[in-house]
């Protein structure tokens, strides 16, 4: 809110360029926040997909977590007023790829009651297939 007051003051003083720089900074902060949120939900989505693939089963809890993660990713990524999305398919794919290793480590703690190390769990799951499924769920 402080930034909005500062923009107002700059505009009242005729300092349009400075006000626009502050607007750019606010836009960057907003996008960064959206990317971080999408990344966090992407990791949650991948954790449960990895567990499903490794254990070759699913639970109601995992399915609800997957649905929730997809809903939150889409809600965060959707531009409300202008329509469209903040992140395109390639950017979403990149975020999922970056989050895969973290998701794999966390899934290793949960899948099979944590009996397998990350590398062992990784051998049970087809990474490209899992990433493709995650992206498909987000795009549906």
pLDDT in tens, 34-82: 999 999 999 999 999 999 999 999 999 999 999 999 999 999 999 888 8
Mean pLDDT of the chain: 94
Residue 62, Cβ neighbours under 10 Å: how many? 17
Q: Examine residue 79 and state whether it is found in any structural domain, yes or no.
A: yes
- Cβ atoms of residues 76 and 41 within 8 Å: yes
Q: Does the pLDDT of residue 1 top 80, yes or no?
A: no
Dist. CA 43–CA 48, nearest whole Å? 9
Q: Kindly state whether residue 57 falls inside one of the protein's structural domains.
A: yes
Q: What is the pTM of this model?
A: 0.87
Region 107-117 average pLDDT? 97
Distance CA 58, CA 62 (A): 6
Domain contains 5: no
| Beta partners for residue 78, in sequence order | 85
The angle, 0 to 180 degrees and rounded to 10, between the axes of the packed helices 89-110 and 16-55 is 50
Is residue 43 in a domain? yes
CA distances from 61 to 5, 58, 65, 67 (A): 45, 8, 6, 10
At 9-42, the pLDDT tens digits run 888 899 888 888 888 888 888 889 999 999 999 9
> Does the residue 6 lie in any domain?
no
- Residue 10 inside a domain? The answer is no
User: Is 13 within a domain?
Assistant: no
Return the residue matching tokens 């794999």.
Answer: 104
Question: Confidence class of residue 4 from pLDDT cuts 50, 70 and 90?
Answer: confident
**Residue 63 structural domain:** 32-139
In this prediction, residue 94 carries a pLDDT of: 98
Work out how many domains the chain is built from and give that number.
Answer: 1
More confident residue, 3 or 133: 133
Burial of 95 (0-12, 13-18, 19+ CB in 10 A): buried
């Amino acid at each position: 809110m402080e930034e909005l007051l500062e923009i107002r003051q700059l505009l009242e003083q005729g300092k349009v360029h400075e006000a626009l720089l502050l607007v750019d900074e606010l836009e960057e902060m907003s996008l960064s926040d959206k990317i971080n949120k999408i990344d966090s939900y992407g990791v949650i989505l991948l954790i449960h997909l990895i567990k499903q693939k490794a254990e070759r089963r699913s639970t109601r809890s995992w399915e609800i977590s997957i649905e929730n993660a997809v809903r939150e990713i889409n809600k965060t990524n959707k531009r409300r007023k202008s329509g469209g999305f903040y992140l395109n398919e390639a950017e979403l794919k990149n975020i999922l790829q970056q989050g895969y290793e973290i998701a794999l480590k966390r899934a290793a703690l949960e899948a099979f009651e944590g009996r397998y190390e990350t590398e062992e769990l990784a051998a049970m799951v087809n990474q490209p297939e899992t990433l493709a499924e995650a992206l498909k769920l987000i795009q549906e």
